[in-house]
Structure 1
Amino acid sequence: MAWLVGVLLVYGAVCGLLHAYQRSLIYMPDRRVAVPEDAGLPDFRVVTVTTADGLSIDGWFVPPREEGLPTIVLFHGNGGHLGYRADKARVFQKAGYGVFLAGYRGYGGNPGSPTEQGLYADARAALDWLVGQGISGQKLVIYGESLGTGVATQMATERKAAALVLEAPFTSLSDAAASHYPIFPVRLLLKDRFDSLSRIGNVGSPLLVIQGEKDRVVPTRLGKALFARANEPKTSVWLPQAGHNDLMAHGLAEKVVGFLSGLNRPQGTAPPTLDHQGPRRGTAIIPR
């Protein structure tokens, strides 16, 4: 009996620690100030947006090469800062698209600490800034990466867009966390849930879901369940040899550009072309 009581006490203590420090396990920012030039993106400029709760958040922006091409606003994963997405941004820019790397509070020198509602506020401020530049509706592609798929899905329920692209998405952060911590009641403990499954049915934009079949961070079954719940028109790509961080090395950019180039491309507009030099760095992930 004493042994059982000891085990229960330890279990309860671990649950308490998980609850108290959960956001440090979910969000893993690189807090150093980052600028486009240091990441090899000299054509991008820093754009500062103001959130509804008064924070000034830096993002990086480059306009499209041609008026007929949309701007991709990218909501990144849980780790690093905007510079970690430079390879992806560079490929989309060279394909002719505008690119807005949306910043988060607490990342890359931005003030504040990340939370689910905070990231939504940051995303809305970025999209509002783009509206001010005349970029919305069919001129906008909402793109989410890993944890950012939760942000992107929420934004796609609030804004009209030419497309929604979800890279390595989950049904909810609760489901993703439960797959890593099956013996703990994470669904009861989590404060930030990013419940995309309950929201995807409210998205009316064309959807692309792309994920690696060997993803050990977000189980592929979660991406497939989210895709099954989504409305048409929708397209899925399951890369058989890709994991979570190496999608660029397995053709992610080609699949995304191919999908986007088929969306109401104006007559006389040349199809985008890709830089085939390949990625030099990986992308950040949701918690391992």
Structure 2
Amino acid sequence: MNWLWAVGGLYLLYAAAMVLAHPKLIYPFGPDVFDAPGWTQAQVTDRAVSIAQWDGTDDVAVLFFMGNGGALAYFTYTLNAHVDAGRTVVAMEYPGGGGIPGKPSEAGLKADALATYDWLASQHDGPIVVHGYSMGTGIAQHVAAERAVFAIILDAPFVKMCELMTKAAWLPACYMPGVQKWNSAALVPQLNAPVLLQHGSADQLIPLRQGARLAALMQAEGLDVDFHAVPGATHSNLAGQPGYRDRIDRFLSDVLK
């Protein structure tokens, strides 16, 4: 019987340690600074949010939120899908990565995103589209739930990040206090814009079934959802797959015509 208490105690210690350590695990940002030609960088809003901006010729502005793996410099394939189409792009940079000082958190990133939207809306008269990749899909949906957007583009989204934590750490992360849960499912009833969702069939970090479940939740709420399972695409190469850009272009053309 004593060994059961010992095992239970060790498990509780492990759980407590993971609560303290999990922000470092879910925000593994890289140091590479974004310095692509033609982009301007600035700090905007009273929160001094760092952004990179491309001024396009189209009426559409895209507010882009990257994933948690690395820095904005690693997302040029996705950014260029909009740049090459002539759209204005504002990409939010995250504190703790890409040479941006600060400490990331779910609450902080979401607050920064709303402030960035408000700044963009004050600068841009045309439609605003939110586009998120991986962790950024949670931020994009948060903005779409709180602000008026014309369309939502989600690449490799999740239903709840804490579900992925549970599988990885063998802990009930969705029920543990102090865990940053990233619950996208809770945002679905607040969305009211058309959604394009692309997810790789070979994605091992966020499995395809996560995107399919999120699409089903959205459809159950009456949202217009265009869901694409991209054959053979992994989590890291989705944006480089044939048809990726074409699907975005068609979707936005249909939504904004």
TM over 0.5: yes
1:259 to 239, 251, 257: 251
Q: 1:200 matched to which residue of 2?
A: 188
Do the aligned residues in 1 keep the contact of 2:42 with 2:50 (CA within 8 Å)?
A: yes
Aligned residue type for 2:172: P
Question: Displacement, 1:2?
Answer: 4.5
SS at match of 1:21: helix
Do the aligned residues in 2 keep the contact of 1:173 with 1:194 (CA within 8 Å)?
A: yes
The separation in 2 between residues aligned to 1:148 and 1:264, in whole angstroms, is 23
Aligned residue type for 2:88: G
Do the aligned residues in 1 keep the contact of 2:132 with 2:139 (CA within 8 Å)?
A: yes
Q: 1:8 matched to which residue of 2?
A: 8
Q: 1:112 matched to which residue of 2?
A: 102
User: Are positions 1:246 and 2:237 aligned together?
Assistant: yes
The separation in 1 between residues aligned to 2:157 and 2:77, in whole angstroms, is 20
Do the aligned residues in 2 keep the contact of 1:103 with 1:122 (CA within 8 Å)?
A: no
Question: Displacement, 1:12?
Answer: 2.2
User: Are positions 1:147 and 2:139 aligned together?
Assistant: no
Q: 1:284 matched to which residue of 2?
A: none
TM-score (norm 2): 0.91
User: Deviation digits for residues 132-156 of structure 1, max 9, x if unmatched?
Assistant: 2124xx6111011111111111100
Q: After TM superposition, list the pairs within 5 Å mapping 1:44-55 onto structure 2.
A: 44-51=39-46, 54=47
Query: Where does the alignment leave 5 or more consecutive residues of structure 1 unmatched?
Result: 266-288
User: Deviation digits for residues 64-105 of structure 1, max 9, x if unmatched?
Assistant: 223xx3111111111211111122212320111111111122
Question: Displacement, 1:239?
Answer: 0.9
Do the aligned residues in 2 keep the contact of 1:57 with 1:110 (CA within 8 Å)?
A: no
TM-score (norm 1): 0.81
The separation in 2 between residues aligned to 1:178 and 1:127, in whole angstroms, is 32
The separation in 1 between residues aligned to 2:213 and 2:189, in whole angstroms, is 12
1:43 to 38, 49, 52: 38
Q: 2:21 matched to which residue of 1?
A: 21
Question: Displacement, 1:235?
Answer: 0.7
The separation in 2 between residues aligned to 1:193 and 1:123, in whole angstroms, is 17
Q: After TM superposition, list the pairs within 5 Å mapping 1:148-163 onto structure 2.
A: 148-163=136-151
Query: Where does the alignment leave 5 or more consecutive residues of structure 2 unmatched?
Result: none
Question: Displacement, 1:31?
Answer: 4.0
Do the aligned residues in 2 keep the contact of 1:57 with 1:111 (CA within 8 Å)?
A: no
The separation in 2 between residues aligned to 1:179 and 1:79, in whole angstroms, is 19
Question: Displacement, 1:118?
Answer: 0.1
Q: After TM superposition, list the pairs within 5 Å mapping 1:41-80 onto structure 2.
A: 41-51=36-46, 54=47, 56-66=48-58, 69-80=59-70
Q: 2:113 matched to which residue of 1?
A: 123
Do the aligned residues in 2 keep the contact of 1:105 with 1:118 (CA within 8 Å)?
A: no
User: Are positions 1:219 and 2:207 aligned together?
Assistant: yes
Q: 1:180 matched to which residue of 2?
A: 168
Aligned residue type for 1:261: S
1:87 to 77, 91, 114: 77
Do the aligned residues in 2 keep the contact of 1:72 with 1:142 (CA within 8 Å)?
A: yes
Cα 1:187/1:35, change in 2 over 3 Å: closer
Do the aligned residues in 2 keep the contact of 1:105 with 1:122 (CA within 8 Å)?
A: no
Question: Displacement, 1:188?
Answer: 2.6
Question: Displacement, 1:224?
Answer: 1.3
Do the aligned residues in 1 keep the contact of 2:159 with 2:213 (CA within 8 Å)?
A: yes
Structure 1 or 2: more helix by fraction: 2
Aligned residue type for 1:186: A
Aligned residue type for 1:187: C
SS at match of 1:79: coil
The separation in 2 between residues aligned to 1:259 and 1:84, in whole angstroms, is 24
The separation in 2 between residues aligned to 1:8 and 1:192, in whole angstroms, is 24
Residues 85-94 or 208-217, more deviating: 85-94
Question: Displacement, 1:123?
Answer: 0.6
The separation in 2 between residues aligned to 1:106 and 1:121, in whole angstroms, is 16
Which structure has more relative contact order (CA 8 Å, sep 6+)? It is 1
Aligned residue type for 2:68: N
Count residues with an aligned counterpart: 252
Task: Report % sequence identity.
Answer: 29
The separation in 2 between residues aligned to 1:58 and 1:73, in whole angstroms, is 13
